[in-house]
């Protein structure tokens, strides 16, 4: 029962972190990609922004699912993008430390668990 509670707790924490990252990403990226063309105006620019944001959210959801699956099969540890791609939890677009997907750069910072040998 304790193991199930730990997994649920880790899943809730991961979901909360993912939501915070999504909000930060969308807040900082809003409108940046559509500014490349001087001919884009009004509703067209807004629809491009919405599509870009939706793509970023889908990518974050994919990363969340990959991290959850990785964590469940790797002693409740999370993986880097390279590890997730190597183990086929993510596709090869994520094979670098800072992959760029749909025009957005994604990063992961892993913090060792408290009390682990690598946390010392």
Report pLDDT digits (tens) over 12-30: 565 555 554 554 454 445 4
Specify which residues 100 forms β-bridges with: 105
Q: Is pTM beyond 0.75 here?
A: no
Give residue 116's pLDDT: 63
Q: Could you tell me the residue ranges of all domains in the chain? A: 2-119
Contact status, residue 113 vs residue 75, Cβ threshold 8 Å: no
In the block, which residue shows the tokens 């899943």?
11
Average pLDDT of span 27-45: 55
DSSP 8-state class, residue 101: E
Helices assigned H by DSSP within 1-120: 2-29, 42-73, 81-86
Backbone angles phi, psi at 101, to 5 degrees: -125, 125
Report d(CA 43, CA 27) in Å as an integer.
19
Query: 33 and 52 in contact (C-beta within 8 Å)?
Result: yes
For residues 49-71, give the mean pLDDT.
Answer: 93
| Stronger pLDDT, 39 or 57, i.e. the higher one | 57
Structure tokens belonging to residue 54:
């939706």
């Amino acid at each position: 029962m304790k193991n199930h509670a730990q997994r649920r707790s880790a899943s809730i924490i991961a979901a909360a972190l993912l939501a915070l990252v999504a909000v930060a990403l969308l807040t900082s990226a809003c409108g940046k990609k559509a500014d490349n063309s001087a001919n884009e105006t009004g509703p067209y620019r807004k629809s491009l922004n919405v599509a870009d944001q939706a793509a970023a959210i889908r990518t974050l959801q994919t990363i969340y699912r990959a991290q959850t699956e990785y964590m469940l099969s790797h002693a409740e540890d999370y993986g880097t993008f390279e590890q997730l791609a190597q183990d086929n939890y993510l596709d090869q677009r994520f094979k670098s430390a800072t992959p760029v997907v749909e025009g957005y750069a994604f990063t992961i910072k892993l913090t060792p668990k408290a009390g682990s040998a690598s946390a010392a």
